């Protein structure tokens, strides 16, 4: 093995894997990537719209937006709300190259996926919503590609051959360099994905589309429609976190 070619992150990961089994957040001893204590403090997306997984105060309702304008996808898995520790970890990957957080996040998503797909069939392929090439150059990597790759590794351990395959070349391309979603207003976000992506028709009929965060859902909706128009029959959405609406205020925890 050429050790010079290994990045510092990779060496740390190998070292950690060989000698430690520690929580990625607090470094306490832990069987998996996070200790029980840190896991309990994560902003779980408990109550949500059953279609688009928008955080709501009542469980299993259909939100106003899904009632007036139903999304093109049927299945959406979004285990966390985009806030607290989850937001810190995702921002760490996106803006500070903290790639070591990819593993705990994809591990958590894989756990939720395995539970969600107990009574339904797994997609054949896993695609991801990519960043624009100029942003990938700026960051040095595409975070959704890195996350989708790690997610496949996690799922393969449970699913073996049934694991959705990640094509070598992602058939979705971002062709318009739009402003970062988090810096736009809701109105601007809803407008921005139009004509921003290009699709090469994929061969699979049932596809999982991965993104790290779903904000308004307009990018996901746009890409889903392009995939359906290209001959895909079913698109399932897999995201780590869903951004709560501005009006949504988490309910205060009851103290006994």
Q: What character string, x for contact with Zn ion (CB under 5 A) and - otherwise, covers 16-55?
A: -------x-xx-x------x--x----------x-xx-x-
Is residue 93 close enough to count as binding Zn ion by CB under 5 A? no
Is residue 63 part of the contact set for Zn ion (CB under 5 A)? yes
Which residue, 24 or 125, is less far from Zn ion as judged by CB?
24
> Taking Cα atoms as reference points, which of 42, 12, 10 lies closest to residue 25?
42
Nearer to Zn ion, 26 or 198 (CB): 26
Q: How far apart are CA 133 and CA 255, in angstroms?
A: 49
Instruction: Give residues 64-83 in contact with Zn ion (rule: CB under 5 A).
Output: 66
Mode of pairing for the β-strands spanning 80-81 and 172-174: unpaired
Q: Smallest gap, in angstroms, from Cβ of residue 26 to Zn ion?
A: 3
Count of residues in contact with Zn ion, rule CB under 5 A = 12
Number of Cα atoms under 13 Å in the Cβ half of residue 16: 19
Question: Cβ of residue 171: shortest distance to Zn ion, in angstroms?
Answer: 27
Q: Give the whole-angstrom CA distance, residue 41 versus residue 30.
A: 15
**H-run or E-run covering 116:** helix 102-116
CB of 7 to Zn ion, least distance (A): 25
Contact positions with Zn ion (CB under 5 A) in 115-134: none
At 163, list the tokens.
């694991």
CA dihedral for 19, 25, 26, 28, sign (positive or negative): negative
Is 207 a residue that touches Zn ion (CB under 5 A)?
A: no
Nearer to Zn ion, 29 or 169 (CB): 29
Taking the complex as a whole, the smallest distance from the CB of residue 104 to Zn ion amounts, in Å, to 10
Question: Which segment (57-65, 115-123, 200-208, 218-226) binds Zn ion by CB under 5 A?
Answer: 57-65
160: left (phi > 0), else alpha (psi -120 to 50), else beta?
Answer: left
Q: At what angle do helices 102-116 and 143-159 cross, to 10 degrees?
A: 50
| 80 DSSP β-pair partners | 44, 241
Q: How far is the CB of 52 from Zn ion (least distance, A)?
A: 3
Instruction: State the residues that interact with Zn ion by CB under 5 A.
Output: 23, 25-26, 28, 35, 38, 49, 51-52, 54, 63, 66
């Amino acid at each position: 093995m050429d050790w010079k070619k290994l990045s510092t992150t990779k060496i740390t990961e190998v070292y950690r894997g060989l000698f430690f089994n520690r929580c990625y957040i607090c470094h306490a001893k832990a069987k998996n990537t996070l200790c029980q204590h840190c896991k309990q403090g994560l902003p779980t997306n408990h109550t949500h719209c059953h279609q688009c997984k928008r955080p709501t105060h009542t469980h299993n309702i259909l939100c106003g937006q899904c009632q007036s304008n139903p999304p093109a996808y049927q299945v959406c898995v979004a285990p966390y709300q985009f806030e607290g520790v989850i937001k810190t970890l995702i921002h760490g990957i996106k803006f500070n190259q903290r790639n070591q957080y990819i593993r705990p996040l994809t591990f958590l998503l894989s756990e939720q996926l395995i539970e969600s797909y107990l009574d339904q069939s797994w997609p054949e392929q896993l695609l991801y919503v990519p960043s624009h090439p100029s942003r990938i150059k700026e960051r040095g990597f595409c975070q959704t590609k890195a996350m989708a790759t790690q997610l496949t590794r996690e799922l393969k351990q449970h699913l073996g051959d049934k694991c959705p395959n990640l094509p070598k070349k992602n058939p979705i391309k971002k062709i318009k360099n739009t402003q970062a979603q988090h810096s736009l207003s809701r109105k601007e976000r809803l407008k921005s994905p139009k004509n921003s992506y290009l699709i090469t028709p994929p061969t699979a009929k049932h596809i999982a589309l991965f993104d790290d965060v779903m904000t308004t859902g307009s990018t996901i909706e746009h890409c889903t429609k392009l995939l359906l128009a290209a001959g895909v029959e079913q698109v399932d959405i897999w995201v780590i976190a869903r951004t709560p609406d501005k009006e949504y205020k988490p309910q205060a925890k009851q103290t006994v």
